Structure 1
Amino acid sequence: MKEVVLTIAVPCYNEEEVFEQSYYQLKNVLTSLISEGLVSSKSQLLFIDDGSKDSTWDKIESATHFDKLVSGIKLSRNFGHQRALLAGLEEAVQFSDCVISIDADLQDDTSVIREFVLKYLSGYEIVYGVRSKRETDTFFKRSTAQGFYRLMGKMGLSLVYNHADYRLLSKRALTEMLQFKESNLFLRGVVPLLGFKSTSVYYERKAREAGESKYPIAKMLAFALDGITSFSVKPIRFITLIGFLSSIISIIAGGYVLVQKFLGDTESGWASVMISLWLIGGLLLMSIGLIGEYIGKIYEEVKHRPRYIIEDNLCRNKQANPVKSKVHI
C-alpha cells in the first residue's frame, strides 16, 4: 500500500507569540500519525508567513534548520489570509497526497487531525472541520456569523455551516480547486463547488492561546462582502427590484398628488419632502456603491496581477535551496 504524504499548511501573520506552541502541538500530531503508519515520514508542516512584521519568519526559518518535518514559505508582503493559504496549497500539491489547512492560533482542535486522515483513507476527498458550537465567540460575532451563513444560503451558495478554513483536501480535489483562477478566491465558497465525496468532522473551538485576533470587525465585514459578491449577482438584482418598487411607489404618490391638486389641497409638508429625499439619496448611494464593488472585482480580474509573490521558499520536498521573488498568478 502506497504511503500517504500529508502536508499541514499553516498561514501565519504576526504570530510570534503563539508560533512555538503551534509548532510543538502540530509536530506532536504529525509524529504520532507517522509512528502509527497512517502517513509517510515524508509528511511535513508547511508554515506560510504572510508578510509578518514581527519575528514570525525568523522562528519558521529556525525551525526548518533543526527539524526535517518543517518547511516554510515567506511572502514578500502581507497579501491576506486567503492568498497566503493559497500559496501554501499551491506549493504543497506538488508533493502531497493530501493537505490539511489550519490557522496558527490553535483555536481549531488539532486532535481531530487524526480523524481527518482516517476519513481520507476511507475514501473521502474533502473533509471539513466544523465547529459543534460557538460558545467561545461573543454574542455579536456569533449572531453576525449565523446571519452571514443564512444570507449566503439565500444568495444561492451552499456553504458548510460553521466551517472556516480547517479542512483536508486530497491531491485530486486540490488540483481541481487550483483551476479557479480568480484574484479574489473565496475558498470557503469554492471548495463545496468541487463536488467530490466529502464529509465533516465536528470539534469544539478553543480560545486563542496567545496574541490578538487577525480578524477585527472591519476585516470580517470586508471578508463577508467579498464572499457575497464573489459568488452571486443577486445583490444587483435586488437593486433592480428596489428600483422597480420605488417606481411603483412614485406612480402611486404621483396619483395622490394629482388627486390632492384637483381637490384644491396642494400644500405639501416639509418633513415628508426631506424624508423622501434622504431615503432616495441613501438608496442611490448604496446602489452605486454595490455596483461599484462588482465593477472593482472585474477591474482586478482583467489586470491579471499576481495573487501573491514568494520571497523565500524553504520547502524541503521540492528543492534544497531557497527561491527568491517567485510570482504566482
Structure 2
Amino acid sequence: MPAPASGPTLSVVIPMFNEEAVLPLLVARLRPIVDGLGTAYEVVAIDDGSCDTTPVILERLRREWPQLRIVRLRANAGHQAAISAGLARARGSFVVTLDADLQDPPEVIPEMLQIAREDGVDVVYGVRNDRSTDTAFKRGTARLFYWGIRRLGALDAPQDAGDYRLMSRATVDAVNSLPETNRVLRLVVPALGFPSAAVGYTRELRAAGQTKYPLSKMVRLAVDSVTGFSLAPLRFATWLGLLGGLAAFGVLFYALVARLLDHALPGWTSTVVIVAGVGAVQLLALGILGEYVGRMYAALQARPSYFIAHDSLEPSSGGSAARD
C-alpha cells in the first residue's frame, strides 16, 4: 500500500541476525546521517530470530531513539526474507535497504535520496567501486556470479550492486505484490525495469561480529538466482541429453563397424566409462529439473517465508501476522 500522508519520507530497512557487537557502531554512524536529512524518517530493524542480545540492545536503543522501529521475526528466515519483511512493513515514500555490518557505508544515503528526487528515478543502486577489503575469493566469485547471470540472459543486473539500494514507494509496492517465494532482491528489482541510477562507494571491512554469509549460503543464493530468473539450465539439460544421444549413437556405430571387421571390442574399462558418463549426465539433468520442480512445489504450497512475532509500531500485533 502507498505510504500514508502522515508517514515518513524515508524508511531505512536493516535486516540483522546476531549483530550485538556491531549495533552500537551502526547507530553511532547512522543516526547523525538520517537526523541531518531534515525530513521525517524511520529506521526499521528486522530482527531475524537473533539468539544473542540483539533484541535487548534494540529495545534499549529504541527508548533513546523514537524513530527506531523493531520488527521481530518468530524464527530465522534468512537474509532475503528479512529484507522482504522490512519492505512489507516500511511506510516511507523512499525505502533504503542496508545491512547492519557497515560494509556498505550509510553516509551514501543522502546522495541516494538527492539523486532519486532530482533525477526522478525509482531505484538508486549502491555500486561497490572498490572491493579491495573483500577477499580475492569473494571478489572472484562475485564477478563470476554477475558474469554468469548476464551470460544466461536472465537480466542486466548492475555489476557489483548487492542489496544496498534506495527504492521509491512505487518500486516497493511492485516488489511486495510479487507472489514468488525465495526472492533474490538484487535480481528482482532490476527485473522490474523501473528507471534507475547508481552511486559508487568503497566497500569497507565488517565493523564487528562475524559474517552471516558463509560459502553454503552464497551457493544457495546463486542457485536461487539462476533458477529463479533463467530457463538456460533447462535448455542446458536438453542439450546434454541430445549430446548424450549422439555419443551413444557414435558408440553403437563403432561397435557395428568393429563387428563387421571382426575386431575385438574394448573390454570392461570402456564399458564402465561410457555407462558412468551417461549416468552422470542423467543425474545432472535430473538435478537441474529437480531444482525447478522444487521451486514450483514451494510456490504451490504458498507457505509464508517469514512470520512476524512483534512490531514495535503495533504493540498488540502479538505474533500472528505472516507474509508470503
2:74 aligned with 1:76:
yes
Q: Counterpart of 1:29?
A: 33
Give the alignment's Cα RMSD to 1 decimal.
1.5
Instruction: Give TM-score scaled by structure 2 length.
Output: 0.94
Structure 1 residues 235-254: aligned runs within 5 Å: 235-254=233-252
In structure 1, C-alpha distance between the alignment counterparts of 2:7 and 2:215, rounded to whole Å: 43
In structure 2, C-alpha distance between the alignment counterparts of 1:97 and 1:23, rounded to whole Å: 22
Name the stretch that deviates more: 178-187 or 221-230: 178-187
1:5-34 deviation digits (Å, cap 9, x = unpaired): 111110000101101111221111101212
- Structure 2 counterpart of 1:239, which letter? A
- Structure 2 counterpart of 1:9, which letter? V
In structure 1, C-alpha distance between the alignment counterparts of 2:268 and 2:130, rounded to whole Å: 51
2:11 aligned with 1:15:
no
Q: Counterpart of 1:165?
A: 163
Q: 2:98 aligns with which of 94, 98, 102?
A: 102
Secondary structure of the structure 1 residue equivalent to 2:131? coil
Alpha-carbon distance, 1:216 to partner: 0.6
CA gap 1:244/1:252 in 2 versus in 1, 3 angstroms:
same
CA gap 1:269/1:135 in 2 versus in 1, 3 angstroms:
farther
Moved over 4 A (4+): none
Secondary structure of the structure 2 residue equivalent to 1:178? helix
Q: Counterpart of 2:297?
A: 299
Structure 1 residues 218-229: aligned runs within 5 Å: 218-229=216-227
Does the 8 Å contact 1:18/1:104 carry over to 2? yes
Q: Counterpart of 2:110?
A: 114
Alpha-carbon distance, 1:3 to partner: 9.9
Q: Counterpart of 1:129?
A: 126
- Structure 2 counterpart of 1:108, which letter? D
1:145-190 deviation digits (Å, cap 9, x = unpaired): 1111111112212211101100000111111121111111111111
Corresponding pairs, count: 316
Q: 1:197 aligns with which of 174, 189, 195?
A: 195
In structure 2, C-alpha distance between the alignment counterparts of 1:88 and 1:172, rounded to whole Å: 15
In structure 2, C-alpha distance between the alignment counterparts of 1:79 and 1:218, rounded to whole Å: 16
In structure 2, C-alpha distance between the alignment counterparts of 1:322 and 1:202, rounded to whole Å: 41
1:122-162 deviation digits (Å, cap 9, x = unpaired): 11210000000321222222111111111111221221110
In structure 2, C-alpha distance between the alignment counterparts of 1:225 and 1:268, rounded to whole Å: 40
Which structure 2 residue ranges, 5 or more long, are not aligned? 1-5
Which structure 1 residue ranges, 5 or more long, are not aligned? 35-39
Alpha-carbon distance, 1:266 to partner: 2.3
In structure 2, C-alpha distance between the alignment counterparts of 1:279 and 1:213, rounded to whole Å: 39
In structure 1, C-alpha distance between the alignment counterparts of 2:152 and 2:111, rounded to whole Å: 32
Q: 2:277 aligns with which of 279, 285, 288?
A: 279
